[in-house]
Amino acid sequence: QEQEPAVGAGSVKQQLSRLVLSSLRATVPEVEVEPMVEVSAKFADYQCNNAMGLWSKIKGSGTSFKNPNAIGQAITKNLPSSDIIESTSVAGPGFVNITLSNRWVAKRIQDMLLNGINTWAPILPVKRAVIDFSSPNIAKEMHVGHLRSTIIGDTLARMFEFSNVDVLRRNHVGDWGTQFGMLIEYLFEKFPNWQEIGSQAIGDLQIFYKASKHRFDNDPEFKERAQQGVVRLQGGEEKYREAWKKICDISRSEFDLVYKRLNVELEEKGESFYNPYIPQVLVELSSKGLIQESEGAQVIFIEGYQIPLIVVKRDGGFNYASTDLAALWYRLNVEKAEWIIYVTDVGQQQHFEMFFNAAKMAGWLPDPKEKKYPKTSHVGFGLVLGSDGKRFRTRSTEVVRLVELLDEAKSRSKSELLQRLTENGKIVDWTDEELEQTSEAVGYGAVKYADLKNNRLTNYIFSFEQMLSDKGNTAVYLQYAHARICSIIRKSNKDVEELKMSGAISLDHPDERVLGLYLIRFAEVVEEACTNLLPNVVCEYLYNLSEMFTKFYTNCQVVGSPEETSRLLLCQATAVVMRQCFQLLGITPVYKL
């Protein structure tokens, strides 16, 4: 039996759900139902929608309830008394409308200001998750797809970490496979002194890769050597291991340039790490009767798919699928993860569906009807397009170098900032360091936000002009909105730290109340974003919050009004929540702009 969460813990929805659950147990003790609590669009703040479903379950079973509305009435009556709820009413076929108490809402915001935004973390049903993201391939191009995976994966990790889940951030780099024979032999051939050379000597690894591939395809003698090279590498021969490591190191230092700019932490456990586990995993799957021979390969047939999942190739080698099965085994049994999340483009969806199915057949994952966890999820995403609507490329036909792309975002945001500050005569107020940090925060933040704000499954057009615009739903606009709130507070010349202790929030004006209610929805927004693995939910919230703040600020005078203290505290709470949203999206907030 799970321990009951403390009173006051979790999102507002979670707190209301606990009240509703206790009412449901009293109202209809004979049936077990999950509380259904939603934000209400019109009539109230929240609503409980259980009555209708309950009615169809119990009508005709000799119940004393006459109709669903009567059930709604009873749910209302049996709600435990609490200082959360101001009033309730039952509408139509049994919707229970719940209006929150202004005092409670105000207090919840004040408590957050005093005790920190971490007290607004939602409660998630898992303790440990693996998030497998970024995962580029050694010696191959790290492309915009990997950029999306890096940005989306990092945000998911941040949201889970904020919700007190232990997250294992895994970089599943492609560092194993037959191409290494070719790369290593080419290294020996091109750089006889390969042990001494630095990473620069090889130059661009992608070009190196192409050249070695060319050699492989055109010289049978080289091809033969490369194929033996793989065997020697996999057999553990010292010289081959060392050369392999050298090639991986060069790639890694390129990847790290991207991670450093994006401020993304990852722990590399590449394909090679799981290689030793593959044989035992295949023995297990085989003993469960899952593996068959087909056209010389070892495969698993999966219901509903035309082609089987190949786990041992015809030449006896392992592949992407066998590695993923071993990695899943490791994550479940050694790392004890309850939720394993993979972030790649939607093009890989079938691969994931198939090996998840194989894991279910092996009994590694429970039947979701009985137990929800452990579970696996594939977080797919769409393409990045150029302004021509085709796959994103730079000017030439060559691929986009991610580091250059990020550097361009920064330099563009810097020149825009400089131009604006010069026009306003404000450039004198800025140090070089501030300029540098602000253009990084704004530039990299713009790239991330442009990626995260859409539903991840849709394709999006990469446009510097659009993402760096200060109008519309962009990171730049939101940075301005946040900086403006900070400036309102600064200009009031009040010490918010002190106001937090001595002052109180009241929500008498309708726009204050709307803002207050939206602020306290923060936890359930994060909860929803985590549950459905959708970062855009947080973006949408952040954007709406800034709109609501604008409305409040337009209609409610802050500085110099009788409500100044309360309203400054609302400004502060909005700034704190906005900053936490930025934090979850991996964007560095700026305080002046």
CB of 445 to ligand ARG, least distance (A): 25
Strand partners, 132: 170, 342
The 8-class DSSP code of residue 400 comes to P
Distance (Å, whole) CA 457 – CA 487: 37
CB of 204 to ligand ARG, least distance (A): 18
Candidate ranges 32-40, 91-99, 129-137, 183-191; the one touching ligand ARG (CB under 6 A): 129-137
Angle at 449 between CA 390 and CA 265, to 5 degrees: 105
Contact 321, 272 (CB under 8 A): no
Distance (Å, whole) CA 160 – CA 44: 30
Contact 23, 78 (CB under 8 A): yes
Nearer to ligand ARG, 336 or 592 (CB): 336
Segment 391-420, which members bind ligand ARG (CB under 6 A)?
Answer: none
What is the identity of the amino acid at 399?
Answer: V
Angle at 535 between CA 534 and CA 541, to 5 degrees: 110
CB of 315 to ligand ARG, least distance (A): 21
Q: At what angle do helices 179-190 and 238-262 cross, to 10 degrees?
A: 100
Q: Is residue 344 within the footprint of ligand ARG (CB under 6 A)?
A: yes
Q: Which two tokens stand for residue 582?
A: 């930025």
Candidate ranges 49-57, 135-143, 223-231, 447-455; the one touching ligand ARG (CB under 6 A): 135-143
CB of 126 to ligand ARG, least distance (A): 19
Nearer to ligand ARG, 268 or 528 (CB): 268
The 8-class DSSP code of residue 533 comes to T
- Block residue for tokens 């549950």: 531
Among 172, 269, 410, 456, binds ligand ARG (CB under 6 A): 172
The 8-class DSSP code of residue 586 comes to T
User: Phi and psi dihedrals of 148, rounded to 5?
Assistant: -60, -45
Nearer to ligand ARG, 97 or 344 (CB): 344
Contact 50, 36 (CB under 8 A): yes
Distance (Å, whole) CA 185 – CA 187: 5
- Block residue for tokens 């450093």: 260
Q: Is residue 141 within the footprint of ligand ARG (CB under 6 A)?
A: no
Q: Is residue 269 within the footprint of ligand ARG (CB under 6 A)?
A: no
Q: Is residue 342 within the footprint of ligand ARG (CB under 6 A)?
A: yes
Distance (Å, whole) CA 341 – CA 156: 9
Nearer to ligand ARG, 135 or 322 (CB): 135
Q: What does 89-117 look like in DSSP terms, one character per residue?
A: EEETTTEEEEEE-HHHHHHHHHHHHHH-G
Sign of the CA dihedral running 58, 59, 60, 63:
positive
Distance (Å, whole) CA 74 – CA 82: 17
H or E element at residue 345: strand 339-345
Region of 336 on the Ramachandran plot (φ > 0 left; ψ -120 to 50 alpha; else beta): left
Nearer to ligand ARG, 72 or 136 (CB): 136
Among 94, 174, 374, 586, binds ligand ARG (CB under 6 A): 174
Distance (Å, whole) CA 221 – CA 547: 67
Q: Is residue 254 within the footprint of ligand ARG (CB under 6 A)?
A: no
CB of 172 to ligand ARG, least distance (A): 4
Nearer to ligand ARG, 74 or 205 (CB): 205
CB of 344 to ligand ARG, least distance (A): 5
Candidate ranges 15-23, 67-75, 134-142, 179-187; the one touching ligand ARG (CB under 6 A): 134-142
Nearer to ligand ARG, 274 or 460 (CB): 274
CB of 150 to ligand ARG, least distance (A): 11
Among 11, 50, 73, 137, binds ligand ARG (CB under 6 A): 137
Sign of the CA dihedral running 275, 279, 284, 290:
positive
Segment 305-334, which members bind ligand ARG (CB under 6 A)?
Answer: 324, 327
Nearer to ligand ARG, 50 or 137 (CB): 137
Nearer to ligand ARG, 162 or 355 (CB): 355
Contact 146, 136 (CB under 8 A): yes
CB of 427 to ligand ARG, least distance (A): 44
Candidate ranges 132-140, 291-299, 476-484, 526-534; the one touching ligand ARG (CB under 6 A): 132-140
CB of 547 to ligand ARG, least distance (A): 37
CB of 179 to ligand ARG, least distance (A): 12
Q: Which two tokens stand for residue 216?
A: 């492989």
CB of 306 to ligand ARG, least distance (A): 21
Among 13, 54, 110, 132, binds ligand ARG (CB under 6 A): 132
Among 135, 413, 474, 492, binds ligand ARG (CB under 6 A): 135
If you compute the radius of gyration of the chain from its CA atoms, what whole number of angstroms results? 28
Residue closest to ligand ARG, measured at CB? 135
Nearer to ligand ARG, 176 or 460 (CB): 176
Nearer to ligand ARG, 137 or 234 (CB): 137
Contact 281, 331 (CB under 8 A): no
Nearer to ligand ARG, 271 or 511 (CB): 271
Distance (Å, whole) CA 133 – CA 535: 14
Number of amino acids touching ligand ARG (CB under 6 A): 10
Sign of the CA dihedral running 73, 75, 78, 81:
negative
Nearer to ligand ARG, 10 or 270 (CB): 270
Candidate ranges 61-69, 131-139, 284-292, 378-386; the one touching ligand ARG (CB under 6 A): 131-139
Binding site for ligand ARG (CB under 6 A): 132, 135-137, 172, 174, 324, 327, 342, 344
